[in-house]
Structure 1
Amino acid sequence: MTDAYVALEGGHVVEARGRAPGTARGELVFTTAYTGYEESLTDPSYEEQVLTFAYPLIGNYGVRPERFESDRVHPRAAIARELTDDVAAWLTEEGVPAVDHLDTRDLVTDVREQGAMKCGVAVGDDVTPEDALAELDACEPMGAHTDIGAQVSVPDPVVHNEGGDGETVALVDCGAKQSIVDSLVARDATVHVLPYDATASMVDAVDPDILFVSNGPGDPANFEAAAELVDTFVGELPIAGICLGQQIVARALGGTTEKMDFGHRGVNQPVLDEASGRVVMTTQNHGYTVEDPGDVLDVTQRNVNDDTPEGLDSDELDIITRQYHPEANPGPHDSLDFFDDVLGLADGRRAPMVADD
């Protein structure tokens, strides 16, 4: 058995079975999702993190690239109670360390009680606990990764569905999932994916109907260029945002954000729409949240579990943002109509959320 060690903030070292070799460090977080491990592992929002799966068996339906949300695995390492050989082989090819045969229940409990923490991982035939501790010592907090946008964003503009009959969207790529692009293209929008540090002139060159700020990893305070775009175009263009995008929009318009204890990561987060009384189940992956939306934005949706803001709107300025992922794959799909609302901002076609019959 290949040696493997996970060093936790505070110095405790957990022994495990190595499944993909290497050393890594990052913020230890967990997801409660039963399915969607391919989507989670390729989600750019997990950049600089070590992902623990709360569900015990990961890999029971194989690995298929058509399910990927980006072109690579983003967590620095993966931890599970048991990984199948398919997933272990995939992570080995990706150069991402992976371990299993440890009690992930304990890890999840630690994160829930102590908050997301720094950790180090070492996997190999001759690694020692000291190797994992060395990675832990070198680990930085998430807020210190000021260049994290450059790690996940396109370096140059990319266009999807050029010449489509629908609206033109300028998507600021702070770590966008492919499903966001696919959801817009499925509605015949032309999507111009712009770098996370795009300038106002780059947006002007696209001549968009809508400015859309994507999801992504890390502290929203480190995405100043995206916030400046929101500040520049507010009142001139409709603006939308998902996940990190909601936090960036809020900060740009006078709101504040804060780091959560352990975040929301999974496919079972209930969200209440306050106007309709409808509750939808959502997929989420974020460690920061909007603390105060400021005076411009109204909180229209809240998390049922902890009352954090899940939706921000401004009818006057044509702004709509969501903290969760309406485009979630493999699901749930309760909130896919968000994209119809976003595109409807371009000509006032947005429909209010109503309760199901």
Structure 2
Amino acid sequence: MTDAFLALADGRVFEARCRAPGRARGELVFTTAYTGYEESLTDPSYEEQVLTFSYPLVGNYGVRSERFESDRVHPNAAVAREFTDDVADWLADADVPAIDHLDTRAIVTSVREEGAMACGIAAGPAATPADARAELDAAEPMSAHTEIGAQVSTPEPYTVSGEAGGADADVALVDCGAKGSIAESLAERGADVHVLPHDATAADVRARDADVLFVSNGPGDPATYDAAEALVDEFLDELPIAGICLGQQIVARAVGGETEKMSFGHRGVNQPVRDLETDRVVMTTQNHGYSVADPGPLEVTQVNVNDGTAEGLDHDEWNVLTRQYHPEANPGPHDSLGFFDDVLATVADSRRTVAAD
């Protein structure tokens, strides 16, 4: 049955089957992950995008809320070769349009060749190609979503308490769209994680007596996160600073570096990253459409094997440690979970330095 349409910025319109009705528009991106559809669909980094799954069957192990990375579905719509009823029903309940029975290989190839592009979707009994094109015409580039941080950030601060017997540290986590597993990974190591809104102030951080400033992942253009960038600038050389994904980009910009939009980004669970000191390669989970083009005074310590983009930035004197990929995985390989231990180790190092002074 053809009761859905996907219109692409390259002029093509794909016929499809409606699995969850509605209309949507946004930047069309794809993930190569073959598991973790629950985590991907609830990842705030997909806000204002239309997520296409390159793996042909999505939903073969059901839907369980304990795997969610946030409290809602974030992509504006979802596309697959085939969705199971479990996933289709979940997306319909969430009022997120979903379509399948179309050539996702052709869609992924288009994005790889032409870059992430705008799209429009119309799904339901009365949907027409013209409806999909109308959504496409109304789509905006990611850089135009200047308030995207407010859409995904916590409205009020809260604390995730650390497990007993671990690190004695207070982490100020700036929530620019943080996956839940980031706070969980730090709390599992004993840290008390104070999750703050994306526009938190220096006073908010100091009120938590923070030992480290940690900037999270999130959606959109890093240039739109002025408040988080200002926090990094405020606490540089005062507190250890860490960041993941968007957080790495914000940290780099705060110290004078530059970021740029990638052609189609890195989204999947099989991105190879090489450590420049050890020459060791690990497989990583990634979800980003921007990268650090110029790290400024920061040292590039890890690079993507496929395209050479910066995957890790360090600065020993300032106690800065960032990663472009997601060390907490969820879903994906656990090769880089030690990053959280390294971040908490900077707290101990910082305390020893203060004591020596």
Q: TM-score, normalised by structure 2?
A: 0.96
Q: Tell me the residue number matched to 2:353.
A: none
Partner Cα separation in structure 1 for residue 152 and residue 330 of structure 2: 19
Q: Tell me the residue number matched to 1:246.
A: 248
1:348 aligned counterpart, secondary structure: helix
Structure 1 residues 270-279 or 1-10, which shifts more?
1-10
Q: Tell me the residue number matched to 2:189.
A: 187
State the shift of 1:162 in Å.
Answer: 6.7
Q: Tell me the residue number matched to 1:104.
A: 104
CA contact (8 A) 1:2 1:123 kept: no
Q: Tell me the residue number matched to 1:317.
A: 318
CA deviation vs aligned residue, 1:105-159 (integer Å, no higher than 9, x gap) = 0000000000000000110111111111111011000000000000000011111
1:135 aligned counterpart, secondary structure: helix
2:347 aligned counterpart, secondary structure: coil
CA deviation vs aligned residue, 1:174-217 (integer Å, no higher than 9, x gap) = 00000101100100110000000111111111110000000000
CA contact (8 A) 2:162 2:187 kept: no
Provide closer, same or farther for how the CA distance between residues 162 and 300 of structure 1 changes in structure 2, counting only shifts above 3 A: closer
Partner Cα separation in structure 2 for residue 174 and residue 100 of structure 1: 31
Q: Tell me the residue number matched to 1:161.
A: 161
Q: Tell me the residue number matched to 1:40.
A: 40
Mapping 1:61-100, distance limit 5 Å: 61-100=61-100
State the shift of 1:10 in Å.
Answer: 3.1
Q: CA RMSD in A?
A: 1.3
Choose the corresponding residue for 2:257, options 255, 258, 268.
255
CA contact (8 A) 2:27 2:116 kept: yes
Q: Look up the equivalent residue of 1:178 and give its one-letter code.
A: G
Q: Tell me the residue number matched to 1:177.
A: 179
CA contact (8 A) 2:163 2:189 kept: no
Aligned residues: 349
Q: Tell me the residue number matched to 1:232.
A: 234
Provide closer, same or farther for how the CA distance between residues 279 and 300 of structure 1 changes in structure 2, counting only shifts above 3 A: same
Partner Cα separation in structure 2 for residue 151 and residue 316 of structure 1: 35
State the shift of 1:2 in Å.
Answer: 6.1
State the shift of 1:166 in Å.
Answer: 2.2
Structure 1 residues 54-63 or 154-163, which shifts more?
154-163
1:346 aligned counterpart, secondary structure: helix
1:216 aligned counterpart, secondary structure: coil
Q: Tell me the residue number matched to 1:348.
A: 349
CA deviation vs aligned residue, 1:278-314 (integer Å, no higher than 9, x gap) = 10000000000000001x2000000000000000000
Matched, 1:208 2:210: yes
Partner Cα separation in structure 2 for residue 110 and residue 330 of structure 1: 25
Partner Cα separation in structure 2 for residue 238 and residue 110 of structure 1: 42
CA deviation vs aligned residue, 1:219-255 (integer Å, no higher than 9, x gap) = 0000010000000000000000000000000000000
Q: Look up the equivalent residue of 1:270 and give its one-letter code.
A: P
2:336 aligned counterpart, secondary structure: coil
Matched, 1:220 2:212: no
CA deviation vs aligned residue, 1:50-103 (integer Å, no higher than 9, x gap) = 000000000000000000000000000000000000000000000000000000
CA contact (8 A) 1:2 1:19 kept: no
2:185 aligned counterpart, secondary structure: helix
Matched, 1:131 2:131: yes
Partner Cα separation in structure 2 for residue 263 and residue 333 of structure 1: 21
Q: Tell me the residue number matched to 1:327.
A: 328
Partner Cα separation in structure 1 for residue 74 and residue 207 of structure 2: 31
Q: Look up the equivalent residue of 2:86 and give its one-letter code.
A: D
Matched, 1:30 2:30: yes
Q: Look up the equivalent residue of 2:107 and give its one-letter code.
A: L
Q: TM-score, normalised by structure 1?
A: 0.96
Partner Cα separation in structure 2 for residue 103 and residue 130 of structure 1: 20
Partner Cα separation in structure 1 for residue 51 and residue 330 of structure 2: 18
Q: Tell me the residue number matched to 2:355.
A: none
1:143 aligned counterpart, secondary structure: helix
Provide closer, same or farther for how the CA distance between residues 135 and 293 of structure 1 changes in structure 2, counting only shifts above 3 A: same
Aligned-residue identity in percent: 72
Q: Which runs of 4+ in 1 moved over 4 A?
A: 162-165
Partner Cα separation in structure 2 for residue 97 and residue 144 of structure 1: 22
